Amino acid sequence: MRILQLTKETKHNILNDLLKRSPNHYTEFEDRVADIIAAVRKDQDAAVFSYTKKFDGADITSENVKVTDAEIKEAYAKVDEKLLSVIRKAKENIRIYHEKQKQYSWFDSEESGILLGQKVTAIQTAGVYVPGGKAVYPSSVLMNVLPAKVAGVDRIIMTTPPEADGSVYASTLVAAKEAGVDEIYKVGGAQAIAAMAFGTQSIPKADKIVGPGNIYVALAKKAVFGYVSIDSIAGPSEILVLADETANPRFVAADLLSQAEHDELASAILITTSQTLAKQVSEEIDRFTEVLSRKEIISKSLENYGYILIAETMEEAIAAANDIASEHLEIVTENAYEVMTKIRNAGAIFIGEYSSEPLGDYFAGPNHVLPTNGTAKFFSPLGVDDFIKKSSVISYSKEALEAVYQDIAQFAECEKLTAHANSIRVRFEKESS
């Protein structure tokens, strides 16, 4: 793994390289995605089933597109009891964490006859996309569904690509049932996003679509934003480790590789004040890579987006971490909590050598759907807030309005909006005549 001195130039170059991984740079796929969306809007089920046959090889129709209770029961029979137990433990941790995020309506009233407030309402229908294909993601099901359940969403639908025989991974179905999904549909890719955005004869329209996916899914979510809400346009996975000479190089190397194995565009960065640690971590990475099952993906990821940066001071290292704004940030330093207070930009922060990133991916409770590609500077992890909306509440008595109506009318006339002014004055025309 390459070792570089942290300078303004190296940081600038790394930031530019990382931004190239954003879905916004894959414009060559946009026309194809637009064609799929247009076809689904026009032909609905027929287009969805045609694309499912083309891309997944499955013969899906209106008769079998929806997962049945019998299929879910069969999935439970296939899932190992130990895995089911882990899913249930993780589900409870995730639920408890997100319960603390709940917001409630509030109202303030005054004796003058003014009532102001905010009404918090869950969205009616949430659509959750769960990837299929090369990997199975029951953890993604839990992380996307449980915040919606805690928020009080009325109806949660899920789409996921089928296998060629029309089946869906057993662990995905079990996780969906455990989390409380109401309906599951066998469709993936951009066609699934379009179906949830606009609705078809078989698949209902959602108010918001969440969940990760490949470049086609990401660009489809971007294209339908505005017709529906979305969580984010997620990029490849990232980890940044801040470490000093007290860190265990074997632990650090293992954690960097936990993200590098995702795909060839994943980013793994160590920023350290210790040259000795830098060399030790590089050596450990070489040893681990030789024995790990996804060796080729890891090697490509590290070759493209893997860096060990040596900083002169921890303050310089922290500043670089804030500029990079990584999806996952591990702090493995002597004064880790003090360092944490200086972090402004990170999707999730892991403190101490026993808080490895996969703990957050699967089990601890905080959401693993996180901002990527520097968007942690202005986005937050998926949470309960993503599944609620807020309405302002305003109520004035006649007496309360009478005390201020001339001020409001003057403001409206300043903006040359005379109908605005009239709608206020008309209520007091008798008093002023």
Asked whether 365 and 94 are in contact (CB, 8 A), the reply is yes
Q: Is 284 a catalytic residue?
A: no
Measure the CA–CA gap between 433 and 428, rounded to whole angstroms. 9
Measure the CA–CA gap between 198 and 207, rounded to whole angstroms. 10
Residue 411 CB partners (closer than 8 Å, separation 6+):
none
Within 10 A of 400 (CB to CB), how many other CB atoms are there?
Answer: 16
Spell 274-304 as b/e; 16+ CB within 10 A means b.
beebbebbbebbeebbeebeeeebbbbbbeb
- Quick one: which of 113, 88, 117, 123 has its CA closest to 104? 117
CA–CA–CA angle 389, 118, 221 (5° rounding): 15
Residue of 238, 327, 330, 353 marked active site: 327
Instruction: Please give the helix or strand (H or E) that residue 151 lies within, else none.
Output: helix 138-151
Residue of 178, 328, 353, 368 marked active site: 328
Asked whether 60 and 166 are in contact (CB, 8 A), the reply is yes
Instruction: Please give the helix or strand (H or E) that residue 394 lies within, else none.
Output: strand 388-396
Tokens coding 43: 């032909």
Q: Is 328 a catalytic residue?
A: yes
Measure the CA–CA gap between 17 and 378, rounded to whole angstroms. 20
Measure the CA–CA gap between 270 and 247, rounded to whole angstroms. 11
Tokens coding 316: 């310089």
Measure the CA–CA gap between 129 and 234, rounded to whole angstroms. 13
Active site positions, annotated: 327-328
